[in-house]
Amino acid sequence: MTVRQVVCLVGGLGTRLGPLTRNMPKPLLEVGGRPFLDYLIDEAARFGLQRLLLLAGHGAGEVVRHYAGRVVGGLSIDVIVEQSPLGTAGALANAAAALDPVFFLTNGDSFFGFNWLALVPALERDDWTMHLALARGVGGGRYGRVETREDRVSRFLPKAESELPINAGIYLVRRRILDRIQSVPCSLENDVLPPLASEGQLLGLAAEGTFIDIGVPDDFARSQHAMPAFTRRPAAFLDRDGVINHDDNYVHRPEQIRWIDGAREAIRWLNDAGYYVFAVTNQAGVARGYYGEDDVKSLHGWMQGELQGAGAHIDCFEYCPYHPEGVVERYRRVSEMRKPGPGMILKLQKEWNVEMDGSFMIGDRDIDMQAAAAAGIAGHQFPGGNLLDFVRMRVPAKRRNPSSR
């Protein structure tokens, strides 16, 4: 099952921030020169999600004005407004008709630098209702703690200084959660999650990463530099044919794809380590008339769906359709976008705010290494075999989160 929807709770009052939220909902407060919610939207789009549903309450008019009907990176945005305070679970019940069978749910006033798709492989099982992202290493005594046994949440503990993780406010949810909301107002955290934990219906996945809760003044101040810093990170640039899938001569249909051993796992590993992951691929078959750009885009969309099932994603597929000997006139040209030129790498650097220090290219041919050198990044030539093993031997595993705590 492919997950396409994310639901975001943006209706809280934000009383701890005083006059800042008197007329403006917390998620729309400016952080690093843009609304905090924009960072969450960018993350959802990165993970290939297609529909965002904002559940608004306090300051709903501002949410509608800023976001209703927008499309960001392929993510279409709709807003549902509650007419009176319903609580976090009540807001879900109010949106019941618009919910997919499975969806991501996130708080609109907190951010966790975490690979959301790591929650998806658990869909192979049907023995849970919600899968929670848990943040490790969050200090202080203002957060409740989460106790787990193996991969299940066993109970929620009161606020305390502890080494146990906290609920990070990112969930993968089955629609049957609505059966647990019998009346409103209803709190997800107080009324729904604890009984589900006692019944063994909650899975939990703990990870380290940047955690920001702008509902408290200290974190709101910290977010002004932490959030812009988080979006600047190194990248893994991967050749496609010969690195992600076998190079079987002008591959352009799903049935032609043979994944390299360990490729999906390697991409998941890079996602979890905090790198942007890009595919940069020469597609001379377009210039030669063997297939069109729509075929390339369709194949890449299919590959993203397959990767999601493994808890992985590629942030962007960049391809070059040009070749100096192409038979299709509009694609017959010399282009710096075509490897060994660095054009695709440099284009992605600019568009994604990539930190080139620590970025690298993995390819199977000399032209990949030449493109890496021309762009000023390291190049690792893949000789074949298992890509995950290759990546683990050459790439630092430490998550590159400048503000993790």
Q: Give me 147's structure tokens.
A: 């106790």
Does 241 participate in catalysis according to the annotation? Answer: yes
Task: Answer yes or no: are the C-beta atoms of 309 and 275 closer than 8 Å.
Answer: no
Distances (CA, A) of 80 to 66, 94, 113, 179: 13, 8, 26, 20
Distances (CA, A) of 314 to 47, 238, 251, 262, 333: 8, 10, 18, 15, 28
Task: Answer yes or no: are the C-beta atoms of 136 and 44 closer than 8 Å.
Answer: no
Radius of gyration of the chain (CA): 22
Beta bridge partners of 107: 9
Burial of 20 (0-12, 13-18, 19+ CB in 10 A): middle
Phi, psi of 235, deg, nearest 5: -130, 150
> Quick one: the chain helix, strand, coil %, rounded to 5?
35, 25, 40
Burial of 255 (0-12, 13-18, 19+ CB in 10 A): exposed
From the list 241, 272, 315, 368, the catalytic residue is 241
Residues contacting 169, CB < 8 A, separation 6+: 106, 107, 110, 112, 133
Peptide bond just before 185 cis, omega within 30 deg: yes
From the list 191, 219, 239, 272, the catalytic residue is 239
Residues contacting 143, CB < 8 A, separation 6+: 159, 166, 167
Give the DSSP H or E segment for 53.
strand 51-56
Residues catalogued as catalytic: 239, 241
